[in-house]
Amino acid sequence: MSKPTDLVQGTLDLLILKVIGLEPMHGWAIAQRIRLMSGDVLQVGQGALYPSLHKLEQNGWITAEWAISDNNRKAKYYTLTKAGRKALELETGQWERLSEAITQVVRAV
Amino acid sequence: MRHWTKFQLRLRSLFSRTAVENELDEELRYHVERQIDEDIARGMSPREARDPALREFGGYQQKKEECRDMRGLNFMENLLRDIAFAIRQLRKNLVFSCTAIFMLALGICASVAIFVFVDAALLKPLPYKNPSQLIGVFETGGNCPHCPLSYPDYLDWKKDNKSFTSLDVFSHAGFTVTTRAGAVPARGARVSDGFFKTLGVHPILGRDFYTGEDLPSAPRSAVLAYATWQRRFGGKTGILGQTVVLNGDPYTVIGVLPPEFHFEPAEPSEFWVSFHATNECDLRRSCHFLDGVGRLKTGVSFATAVADVKLIASHLEAEYPGSNKEQGATLVPLTDLIVGNVRPILLVLLGGAGLLLMIATVNVSSLLLVRSESRRREISVRAALGAGRTRLMRQFMAEGLVLVALGSVLGLAGASKLIRLLTALIPADLLAAVPFLNDLSLNAAACVFAGVIVLLSAVLFSVTPALRISLSGIAMGMAEGGRGSAGITWRSLGSKLVVLELATAVVLLVGAGLLGRSLALLLRVDLGLQPDHLATLYLTAPDARYGKDPQSIALERDVVRLMQNIPGVSSVALTTDIPVTHWGDTTWFRIIGRPWHGEHNDTPERDVSSEYFRTLGATLAKGRNFTEDDDKTKPEVVIVNQALANLYFPGQNPIGQHISGLSDPPKPIEIIGVVANIKEGPLDTASQPVLYFPFNQRPSDGFYVLVKTQQVEAELLPAMTSAVRQFDPDIVTIQQLSMADRIDQSQSAWIHRSSAWMVGGFAGMALLLSVIGLYGVIAYSVSQRTREIGIRMALGAQRESVHRLVLREAGVLTTFGIAIGLACSLAVAKLLRDLLFGVQAWDVPTLATVTIVLAIAALVAGYVPARRAAGVNPVEALRTE
């Protein structure tokens, strides 16, 4: 099992931005979605998730508002901003270049 | 847009802290509970589901802290908290804080106040166009290095020079202004037509002189100083075209100068009038009274210009040997001419203030070091409880910042007071001559200067204790009684700082000592006269009614009679020039019966009444005094001073010898007496040969009146003035002063006195601060060595030997400080030499006195902690640690 802390620096931010880009959601849902989408490989603990969320909010890439969740409780929902979408595109491009490069190196052997 | 959102978030994090905290709590709790719900839904029992969630809950606070960090909340909050904590810390240790703040304020106050003067005099450009191109132009001759030009010489220089785009002249003038209320005195200057054009100054009202307006054919015109326009004419624009009557001649007002205009060499001047060459002196080539100012052509160097004017002078010397023999030429940059007098004293004061500031900051940082040392345990505890090193350093920086902030606010407030106090201490006459020192305040330049000091000291005070943290292993502070290498490191650093302080104090003390001795010697200079109980004033009568010789002689007799009628007056005398002013007002002479090759023998001349030497208390060494009968009906006579007798009649008796002016054929003047040297010029100048002629043979209608009395002389001055006024309201009287005040307020006395007192003040404070610093180091060292001392005493050491132990430490530091300081002060004293009088840089009594004073002060500073050390109870010392 890979822990988010083992992820390449900044990758968690990319994952969060990508997931929130699908629809506004709260912290717990973000963690669940990442787990599901990665086929249970990536498990994001709250210890890494929330500081990251607050940092992204501070960067102005996501905004937060309180709303009623699917289980009828108040939860903090995060939405991607315009700046966040731009950052997501940039990060995605970078990630693709990086992973491709790594794959090439690894396969070549 | 994004930045605005971010900013809002920051603000919210900072100011709605509880709301943000609650949200954070709620968000995290939601996550935990959702996890539990999910696990239960997957079939776990509620208990089983709770454990992993709760385990994660263990790091809950830590998560929150990380989130806070991410929000940038901690930085701001910590800063505010640090400052609040710093203020609490400083309040807890009030003696330390007040000492530190006071010392800092003292240093800032002194240096900023002096800087304001330096800025006004030396840094601010002069209020002329391209002032660096302006050059003062002088002749040289005899013992006069910067002689004025004569008008015919000026015209030739103006015509023949190749170095100046323009060359103009000015001359002091005393005016009697005719007003409805009677005659009033005013100072002014006669200037050639291009004077203001050369300076690049334009009137704010009206016009400048036109070319040729200074010729006798043109009507007389005057430009007003701004202050004159405001004060005498109410600032009305209608003044243009009006007539003012100066010395009986009508002048048309044509312009008003800008308020910031000043021209020190001619100040104080209220009326700038066009030069009209009319009187005998104006037209005579040997009558020197005009100072020149020229603007260098671009591309012409100063040296080229000097060579140029020297060439002109030599041509004139060849052409007019009678008047121009030995007349050379010299140039001085105008800036030097204007601020040259005050530059040395200002630089010395700035240096003194700078050294004081240095001692103050060094002292404060060493105090901070001592404090950080005594807070080692506290720091260690806080480090153990999780405070990071940067966090601890930030705490110390906050304390440094608070100290500097308070110190600089106090210091600046003090500086603005000090500026006003110092300006008030400058005698009015001197201040009028240096108008740029008037109305000074904390300006932008001073604020920048203060800002730099504050910034540097803030950095110093934050870094010193922070350095201390990184020097010592933080954990070591926890060790019981731990005083490892860190204590030693601090002690050697602290000792070095104290040696530096002591050395600086020595430099300042030596400087003050030398200046003080200069002042004492200056005030004890042999004046050749008794300045006590002498009241003096200057009077000038209108030429129309008193200009002819018999009229002037009648005036003299009337004035003497008027003065003698005032009760308490014992004798009255007149002179054309009063002692302790200048060696100017010269004449040329030759000695009859000796070969003469046209040399001038340029010598100061004074025309004095018969009672002059008696009233002044001067000593007639040989021959006889003048009498009232020595007038034009009698053969001409002269009294020479001892310096002249020694120079021209060495080993001979000058009495009965004859001198003559340079007229052909010579008209013999008999030397009838030799008077002991009277100090005619500034106190700090050597005596020169002087000729005294009887007033009745060379009468004039402007002269000084001296009155000897048994009473307090100042009380006579109003009576003297009103007696003249009642006699003729058209005669103006100025400079009503006692002779003692005249000497006291003379520029040389004032400059020496103020520099001695100011540097003395700085030195006194430096002594105090450095002794406090020494005390701090020794006291700290004793507190660190309490156990060692306890052991020594337990092993049988006597109290005296403990005494000696501590005093030796103080003694070593003091010896180093004094030795280094003495070496430095020899170099510094060389920089002082412009302000020294009669003492050398290596003046042994001064150096010895400073050494003794500092040694005694250091002994006292060391004795207090030594006593405490010797008073240590060995049992307690060993038990407490």
Go through chain B and tell me how many residues it has: 881
Residue B467 pLDDT class (50, 70, 90 cuts): low
Q: Which of B70, B74, B76 to mutate to test the interface with A (most CBs of A within 10 A)?
A: B70
Annotate B347-363 with DSSP letters as a single string.
HHHHHHHHHHHHHHHHH
- Nearest alpha carbon to residue B248 among B180, B190, B175: B175
The continuous run of DSSP H or E covering B570 comes out as: strand B569-575
β pairing state of B182-191 and B243-246: unpaired
Q: Which residue of B has its CA nearest to A78?
A: B27
Phi, psi of B604 (to 5 degrees): -55, 140
For chain B, what is the mean pLDDT? Answer: 84
The four Cα atoms B94, B97, B100, B103 give a dihedral, to 10 degrees, of -60
Give B561-566's long-range contacts (Cβ < 8 A, gap of 24+): B562/B723, B562/B724, B562/B727, B563/B705, B563/B707, B563/B720, B563/B723, B565/B723, B566/B707, B566/B716, B566/B719, B566/B720, B566/B723
Q: Which of A50, A56, A81 to mutate to test the interface with B (most CBs of B within 10 A)?
A: A50
B31:A46 CB<8 A = yes
Q: Which residues of A touch B67 (CB under 8 A)?
A: 50-51, 54
Tokens 């089983």 identify what position? B48
Q: Which residues of B touch A27 (CB under 8 A)?
A: 27, 30-31
A52:B70 CB<8 A = yes
pLDDT(B639) > 80 = yes
Whether the complex's predicted ipTM is more than 0.90 is answered with no
pLDDT(B58) > 60 = no
Tokens 């090193």 identify what position? B389
Pick from A39-48, B388-397, B797-806: least confident = B388-397
Residue B690 pLDDT class (50, 70, 90 cuts): very high
Q: Beta strands of B230-284 (E only): which ranges?
A: 243-246, 249-256, 271-274
Q: Which residue of B has its CA nearest to A45?
A: B56
Give B297-302's long-range contacts (Cβ < 8 A, gap of 24+): B297/B163, B297/B164, B297/B165, B298/B133, B300/B162, B300/B163, B302/B135, B302/B331, B302/B333
B27:A27 CB<8 A = yes
Burial status of residue B686 (CB atoms within 10 A of its CB: 0-12, 13-18, 19 or more): exposed
The pLDDT of residue B53 is 66
Residue A2 pLDDT class (50, 70, 90 cuts): very low
The pLDDT of residue B73 is 60
Partner A contacted by B9 (CB < 8 A): yes
- Nearest alpha carbon to residue B87 among B475, B406, B416, B430: B406
pLDDT(B392) > 80 = no
Residues of A with CB under 8 A from a CB of B: 26-28, 31, 45-47, 50-52, 54-55, 57-60, 63, 66, 69, 71, 73-76, 81, 83
Cβ B149 vs Cβ B137: under 8 Å: yes
Pick from A8-12, B156-160, B780-784, B865-869: least confident = A8-12
- Nearest alpha carbon to residue B603 among B654, B657, B664, B659: B659
The larger pLDDT score, comparing residue B7 to residue A39, is at A39
A71:B34 CB<8 A = yes
Q: Which residues of B touch A76 (CB under 8 A)?
A: 23, 26-27, 30
Partner A contacted by B25 (CB < 8 A): no
The model's pLDDT over B128-140, given as tens digits with 9 standing for 90+, comes to 888 888 999 888 8
Phi, psi of B597 (to 5 degrees): -120, 30
Residue B680, token pair as written in the block: 């005619």
Residue A76, token pair as written in the block: 């903090």
For chain A, what is the mean pLDDT? Answer: 82
Q: Number of Cβ pairs closer than 8 Å across A and B?
A: 65
Phi-psi region of A10 (alpha: psi -120 to 50; beta: other; left: phi over 0): left
pLDDT(B332) > 70 = yes
Partner A contacted by B35 (CB < 8 A): yes
Task: Write down the H helix ranges in B174-330.
Answer: 195-199, 226-233, 280-283, 302-319, 321-324
Q: How many angstroms separate the CA atoms of B581 and B179, rounded?
A: 30
Nearest to A51 among B23, B35, B70 (CB): B70
Q: Could you count the other beta carbons within 10 Å of the beta carbon of residue B794?
A: 12
The pLDDT of residue B388 is 67
Residue B640 pLDDT class (50, 70, 90 cuts): very high
Nearest to B2 among A50, A60, A74 (CB): A60
The pLDDT of residue A4 is 42
Average pLDDT over residues B57-78: 66
Q: How many angstroms separate the CA atoms of A79 and A102, rounded?
A: 32
Task: Write down the H helix ranges in B119-188.
Answer: 151-160
Q: How many angstroms separate the CA atoms of B60 and B20, rounded?
A: 16
Task: Write down the H helix ranges in B240-342.
Answer: 280-283, 302-319, 321-324, 334-339
Average pLDDT over residues B162-172: 90
The continuous run of DSSP H or E covering B538 comes out as: strand B534-540
The larger pLDDT score, comparing residue B19 to residue B861, is at B861
The continuous run of DSSP H or E covering A25 comes out as: strand A25-26
pLDDT(B692) > 90 = yes
Average pLDDT over residues B584-590: 85
Residue B481 pLDDT class (50, 70, 90 cuts): very low
Q: Which residues of A touch B26 (CB under 8 A)?
A: 74, 76
pLDDT(B477) > 60 = no
Q: Which of A58, A69, A80 to mutate to test the interface with B (most CBs of B within 10 A)?
A: A58
Residue B470, token pair as written in the block: 């990184």
Sign of the alpha-carbon dihedral angle for B90, B93, B94, B95: negative
Cβ B164 vs Cβ B296: under 8 Å: yes
Partner A contacted by B12 (CB < 8 A): no
Q: Which residues of B touch A28 (CB under 8 A)?
A: 30-31, 34-35
CA distance A21 to chain B (A): 18
3-class secondary structure per residue, B448-479: HHHHHHHHHHHHHHHHHHHHHHHHCCHHHHHC
The larger pLDDT score, comparing residue B467 to residue B221, is at B221
pLDDT(B637) > 90 = yes
pLDDT(B224) > 70 = yes
Cβ B740 vs Cβ B534: under 8 Å: yes
The residues, any chain, with a CB within 8 Å of residue B108's CB and separated by 6 or more, are B357, B407, B408, B410, B411, B412, B414, B415, B450, B453, B454
Nearest to B70 among A54, A74, A76 (CB): A54
Cβ B110 vs Cβ B762: under 8 Å: yes
Residue B349 pLDDT class (50, 70, 90 cuts): confident
Q: Which residues of A touch B9 (CB under 8 A)?
A: 57-58
Residue B576 pLDDT class (50, 70, 90 cuts): very high
The pLDDT of residue A48 is 79
Q: Which residues of B touch A26 (CB under 8 A)?
A: 27, 30
Cβ B465 vs Cβ B372: under 8 Å: yes
Q: How many angstroms separate the CA atoms of B603 and B618, rounded?
A: 20
The larger pLDDT score, comparing residue B869 to residue B170, is at B170
pLDDT(B108) > 80 = yes
Partner A contacted by B333 (CB < 8 A): no
Q: At B788, is the secondary structure helix, strand, or coil? A: helix
Residue B586 pLDDT class (50, 70, 90 cuts): confident
pLDDT(B675) > 90 = yes
- Nearest alpha carbon to residue B366 among B264, B493, B502, B198: B493
Average pLDDT over residues B196-225: 90
The larger pLDDT score, comparing residue B40 to residue B374, is at B40
Q: How many angstroms separate the CA atoms of B643 and B528, rounded?
A: 12
The model's pLDDT over B776-794, given as tens digits with 9 standing for 90+, comes to 778 877 877 777 788 888 8
Sign of the alpha-carbon dihedral angle for B540, B542, B545, B549: positive
Q: Which residue of A has its CA nearest to B1?
A: A60
Average pLDDT over residues B13-22: 73
Cβ B720 vs Cβ B172: under 8 Å: no
A51:B66 CB<8 A = yes
CA distance A99 to chain B (A): 28
Residue B606, token pair as written in the block: 């004074």
Q: Which residues of B touch A59 (CB under 8 A)?
A: 6
pLDDT(B722) > 70 = yes
Q: At B482, is the secondary structure helix, strand, or coil? A: coil
Residue B76, token pair as written in the block: 């701001």
Burial status of residue B146 (CB atoms within 10 A of its CB: 0-12, 13-18, 19 or more): middle
The model's pLDDT over B814-864, given as tens digits with 9 standing for 90+, comes to 899 999 999 988 888 888 887 888 888 788 888 999 999 989 988 888 888
pLDDT(B237) > 90 = no
Go through chain A and tell me how many residues it has: 109
The pLDDT of residue B59 is 62
A76:B67 CB<8 A = no
pLDDT(B752) > 90 = no
Strand ranges of the sheet holding A62-68, from the earlier edge strand across to the other edge = A25-26, A74-80, A62-68
Q: Which residue of B has its CA nearest to A68?
A: B30
The model's pLDDT over A63-81, given as tens digits with 9 standing for 90+, comes to 888 888 877 888 889 999 8
Percent of chain B topping pLDDT 90: 20
Tokens 């009887």 identify what position? B694
Tokens 């994952």 identify what position? A15
Q: Which residues of A touch B27 (CB under 8 A)?
A: 26-27, 50, 75-76
The larger pLDDT score, comparing residue B292 to residue B37, is at B292
